[in-house]
Amino acid sequence: MRASLLIAAHNEGDSLWKTIRACVEGCAGLDYEIVVADDASSDGSVRSAQQRYPQIRVAGKERRQGASPTKHLAAVHARGDVLVFLDGHCNPEPGAIRRLVEDVEELAGQAIVTPTIHALSKCWTNIPTQVGHGYRLGLRNFDCGWLPLEKLRVHRHGNRKFYESPALIGCALAIARELYGELHGFDPHMFYWGVEDIDFGLRSWLLGHPILHDPEAAVGHRFRKSFDNYSVPFDHLVVNQLRMARKNFTQSVWSEWLERCRQRSPRGLHDHPEGFWARAWELFQEHSASVESERAYFHARREHDEFWYAERFGLTWPKLASAAAPRAGAFADPSPSPSPAPSPSPPPNCGCSIQWANGTPITAANRSVLPGAQINLALVCDAGTPTNITWSIPGLPLVAFKSYAVPDSPSQNQDTAAPPARLAPGDLTSQTLQFYWVYPGNGREVTVDFTLNGQSCSARASFNVIDPTVAFPSGSNPPPIGSVMFYTPPPIPPAPRGHRQKSGLRRRRARAMGSRSARRSAFAPDSARRSGASASW
């Protein structure tokens, strides 16, 4: 079989059968199957989809496990040479799936391919003005977001033009079955939601397999502003981040990252008096054997390390000569947010701008602030009074709060500090806005949409939230990783021989990618970097 379309689903409602309908209507003439991995849905959506499309196969679980194990379950049951992963609320445009399958075959199965992602409206139409292409990833705290096409490096292969994406967003992607097995796929031990896609993408880059974006294939995706069909405990997200860091980082980087992570989330929990971090570390240790086994596997086979990744994609951390002390972070909010939709084309500013509340313009000289600093902004218009005002801060509620208690010192017991208060909807509808930045990062945007003289308008301002360096007392490190045991993930069963010969994947591998040494030369080897040789990209 040429392709398997793999849909992970949990209480998707009508979105699931609509996703399947779009796949069936857009894949005429393609040798494919559809596998739905049901993550213990209770809304009847999977049964409804089966009644409408009896040709689909369903792999189900009685107990909910989350996105990463469910996606891996779908891959285990797949029979196609190319795996196309889709969320259960996607609308691939006609020909998009075929295009992704052809891309994987043209690249001899040696890369992950991503399509253009459109925001999907409530009317189930792809929004042409909200488009996402590349995806970025910061290794310091695993922050991620969209990148425009013009900021991506071009990668030409034959007569097709791809773009290198630093990271992977898991709502839609295509990968060869064999490469999925080599990369060990989505982590079956990650919890409910979060990190599984950027972890998978980082592993792919480090093992020498790029993430390539094809803008000619387009898939709509329904982005959520909040989790409306399930909840995501924040300690589960932190455990997933711990697994990702432990698997992919060298020991020195892991130690530094671990201390940063601990300082970002030192809160108490109602049902765990020992504190948030102790609870997250306990959950992480429950599957430490599997993460250590995975770490050994990847480090023995990878062609690059995290230093190479940081250099290639212009990250400030980590650096080979890095000896910086761990940095203090902020309180983490207990409710993570889903991945944001691509930003729409902005309306005109109508002669209005965002300024400091005292009337000072926001410039490059004063846009840098510290975490914990109070921000007072105002929407200033020269030609009338704005109405229908709505402020937005990407990353809410994680990056900014209405109130925030700044620690007096790094050694302060932050479990006893007053918890930060969220910005309420009513705080985002006046002509002025007050909040606290609490999470570091460059280019943090604030946007305000409004109406002026009957016209829809928008204004933006950008800030750099600088993370100060602070030394922490000795003896505050978390306990060491437990003893190493060996874990082997569920195998990916081979496709039937009769079907494997139908695909052009193997025939194209030798001529498309050449020898392994040739592929290594296409992506700068670590040896050249460590020896001081300059890499030409």
27 with 91, same domain? yes
Instruction: Look at residue 127 and tell me whether its pLDDT is greater than 60.
Output: yes
391 with 513, same domain? no
Q: What is the pLDDT of residue 140?
A: 92
Kind of pairing, strands 374-381 and 352-356? antiparallel
List pLDDT tens digits, range 396-438. 666 677 876 554 444 444 444 455 677 888 888 999 999 887 7
- Indicate whether 307 belongs to any domain: no
Q: Is 463 in a helix, a strand, or coil? A: strand
Instruction: Look at residue 68 and tell me whether its pLDDT is greater than 50.
Output: yes
Instruction: Look at residue 507 and tell me whether its pLDDT is greater than 80.
Output: no
Which residues are 173's β-sheet partners? 85
List pLDDT tens digits, range 235-293. 778 889 999 999 999 999 999 999 888 887 655 555 555 667 888 888 899 989 999 99
The span from the CA of 423 to the CA of 353, in Å, is: 22
- Indicate whether 531 belongs to any domain: no
Q: What is the mean pLDDT of residues 305-327?
A: 78
Name the pLDDT band for 295 (thresholds 50, 70, 90).
very high
Q: What is the mean pLDDT of residues 155-160?
A: 94
The span from the CA of 436 to the CA of 196, in Å, is: 29
The span from the CA of 291 to the CA of 189, in Å, is: 9
List pLDDT tens digits, range 334-392. 444 455 556 555 567 678 899 999 888 888 777 888 777 788 999 999 888 999 998 88
- Indicate whether 72 belongs to any domain: yes
Q: What is the mean pLDDT of residues 151-166?
A: 96
- Indicate whether 448 belongs to any domain: yes
Backbone angles phi, psi at 64, to 5 degrees: -65, 135
98 with 191, same domain? yes
Cα–Cα nearest to 210, from 177, 174, 164: 164
406 with 461, same domain? yes
pLDDT higher at 430 or 320: 430
Name the pLDDT band for 514 (thresholds 50, 70, 90).
low
The span from the CA of 489 to the CA of 497, in Å, is: 23
Q: Find out whether 35 and 64 touch, Cβ atoms under 8 Å.
A: no
CATH code at position 363: 2.60.40.10
Residue % of the chain over a pLDDT of 70: 73
- Indicate whether 287 belongs to any domain: no
CATH code at position 217: 3.90.550.10
Q: What is the pLDDT of residue 398?
A: 61
- Please state, as a whole number, how many other Cβ atoms lie within 10 Å of the Cβ of residue 165: 27
Cα–Cα nearest to 384, from 351, 357, 416, 410: 351
Cα–Cα nearest to 9, from 47, 55, 52: 47
Lowest mean pLDDT among 24-33, 116-125, 437-446, 470-479: 470-479
59 with 193, same domain? yes
- Please state, as a whole number, how many other Cβ atoms lie within 10 Å of the Cβ of residue 93: 17
455 with 498, same domain? no
421 with 507, same domain? no
Q: Give burial (CB, 10 Å; 0-12/13-18/19+) of 28.
A: exposed
394 with 499, same domain? no
CA distances (Å), 155 to each of 144, 165, 213, 312, 392, in order? Answer: 22, 10, 9, 14, 35
pLDDT higher at 491 or 243: 243
Which residues are 469's β-sheet partners? 327
* Domain boundary pick from 423, 446, 465: 465
55 with 140, same domain? yes
- Indicate whether 430 belongs to any domain: yes
503 with 446, same domain? no
The span from the CA of 205 to the CA of 224, in Å, is: 28
Which residues are 376's β-sheet partners? 434
Residue with the two structure tokens 């195998």: 491
Count of domains observed in the chain: 2
Q: What is the pLDDT of residue 416?
A: 47
Q: Is 139 in a helix, a strand, or coil? A: coil
Residue 401 lies in domain? 352-465
Q: Find out whether 212 and 269 touch, Cβ atoms under 8 Å.
A: no
- Indicate whether 407 belongs to any domain: yes
Kind of pairing, strands 134-137 and 144-147? antiparallel
Q: Give burial (CB, 10 Å; 0-12/13-18/19+) of 327.
A: buried
113 with 173, same domain? yes
Q: What is the mean pLDDT of the chain?
A: 79
207 with 120, same domain? yes
Residue with the two structure tokens 């009317």: 123
- Indicate whether 265 belongs to any domain: no
The span from the CA of 65 to the CA of 67, in Å, is: 7
Most confident of 3-12, 319-328, 346-355, 452-461: 3-12
Q: What is the pLDDT of residue 418?
A: 55
